[in-house]
Amino acid sequence: MTASLTKNDGAPPSPNAPAPGGATFFGHPRGLATLFMTEMWERFSFVGMRALLVLYLVAPESKGGLGFDAATGAAIFSVYNAMVYLLALPGGWVADRVWGARKAVAFGGCSMVVGHFLLALPDKATFFGGLVLIALGAGIMKSNISTMVGQLYPDRADPRRDSGFTIFYMGINLGGFIAPLIIGTVGQSVDWHLGFALAGVGMSLGLAQYLLGSRHLAAASSVVNAPLTADERSRLVKHGLLWLVLAAAFYAVVGLTGSLSVGWVLWPLTLAGLALPVACFARIKRDKDLTADEQSKMTGFIWIFVAAAAFFMIYDQAGSVLNLFAHDNTENAVLGWTFPTSWFQSMNPVFVMALAPVAAMLWQWLGSRNPSVPVKFAMALVAVGASFFVMVAAQAAAAGGERVTPMWLATVYLIHAVAELCLSPVGLSATTKLAPRKYASQMMGVWCLAVTAGDCVAAIIQQLMGDATGGGTYFALQATLAVLAGVGIFAFRKPIVALMGDVK
């Protein structure tokens, strides 16, 4: 039975039915305005909360924070971000098998609203419960809302399709730019929990306009592509309850022995975040239904997946280790006017919005000279590694408690933006082209696991290095790993391109 948020008079909508309402949003279907605003508010709430997260985790209890050391706070942030992207995989499955994308996004939005307001309560238990709900909601939304944008253009040859995704992408970065300026200011200057509450208000606005505007979305967004059978539902419930009981029993024993600490949560999640991608690739590679060409392309995809994981190992630390460097070691005053350090988190979205059109025009201008996917990934890895070599110099300049110029972080975030544009959109496009037909709808979730794996590697390094996290050795180690990975991908570019077949 089709799951829908709207009445369909008992008849399942055609997957190819156009979105109602005509072209009223910059010449695009009206549903694009709904999804643009939904994603903008979702990014506003999520990025705004994330700009405060590590600062709140490490702030002394006397100043309203949780009092974790810097290494633990950074590791919590890394694992949390990893779980968001890990949950994108089951989020897509829920849409395909249970609710449909439209209803799944509504549920994800509700989960995020509740989660943000739980963060607003001054209680540690409700705080971490709120993080779980936000991660769940963000994972579900991340895996489905982009799909709904594509469904607005049932004709894949529609010339508006690419520009529609560009407009949607601008909404993501617009929300990410505004969030630290507003939520960061309130959280750092007034009250942590009021800042988290403001993120909840933003997500509430996004959810409200999504529900009001959902009638303009494509009919295909309500379709459940492969509904679960009764037997499948029964097995799912039994297995889910079994794992839940086992996890509860395990942590009950740990708690009763007095050994429970944050490490007992971080390490299992970190290892799970690394094991899941391995399990996914093992399952796909063992599938005898795949043709020889599809198997070859999957091997090529594994190469770029590992490269992407190495990239995100560094890139995603903008919100944790670099945020702490901004707070502890960077000058945050201009002409005598002091601004909250969380504002540095707005730099990357600004650079991305400014450079994305330039990158798009550059790739188009190069034409047949356009670098291959492995070469672009190698460029991204060397660049993101170079950014942490910049941080080695910045850390040296900050030795002795000196506050350094904001130009250090501005340089790092600019390099990150250039590297991201060489890897993220290229990786998304390559994933859709390399995906075996049988796994076409699941491969975007598998791509998200590259972020999970990279963040989990960062969490391991942070937990192992402890007090050295954020020091010169910490930055130099990861910079070297990323540059070596980039050089390796470049050296093996021809074999990788051969594995990828007709995908260049």
pLDDT tens column, 436-492: 888 876 787 889 999 999 999 999 999 999 988 989 999 999 999 999 999 999 999
Place of tokens 């993101």: 384
- The alpha-helical segments, DSSP class H, found in 214-291 are 230-256, 263-286
- Between CA 56 and CA 399 the distance in angstroms is 24
Between 120 and 23, the more confident residue is: 120
**Treating both helix axes as pointing N-terminal to C-terminal, what angle do 192-213 and 30-58 enclose, rounded to 10 degrees?**
160
- Between CA 337 and CA 144 the distance in angstroms is 42
Hey, CA dihedral for 162, 83, 178, 129, is it positive or negative?
A: positive
Q: Determine the pLDDT at residue 397.
A: 94
Q: Determine the pLDDT at residue 3.
A: 35
Residue 488 C-beta-side C-alpha neighbours within 13 Å: 11
Question: How do the domains of the chain map onto residue ranges?
Answer: 19-232, 277-504
Q: Determine the pLDDT at residue 24.
A: 65
Buried b (16+ CB within 10 A) or exposed e, 143-171: bbbbbbbbbbbbeeeeebbeebbebbbbb
Residue 280 reports pLDDT greater than 80: yes
- Note the pTM of the prediction, 2 decimals: 0.89
Does residue 216 come out as left (phi exceeding 0), alpha (psi in the -120 to 50 range) or beta? alpha
For 334, the 3-state DSSP assignment is strand
Specify the CATH superfamily of domain 277-504.
MFS general substrate transporter like domains (1.20.1250.20)
CATH class (in words) of the domain with range 19-232? mainly alpha
The CA dihedral of 216, 153, 135, 44, to the nearest 10 degrees, is -70
* pLDDT band (50, 70, 90) for residue 1: very low
CA nearest neighbour of 27 among 156, 153, 172, 157 = 153
- Can you point out the beta strands (E) in 71-146? none
Q: Determine the pLDDT at residue 121.
A: 94
- Between CA 431 and CA 46 the distance in angstroms is 25
- Between CA 19 and CA 154 the distance in angstroms is 9
Chain-centroid distance of CA 147 in Å reads 16
- Between CA 303 and CA 222 the distance in angstroms is 35
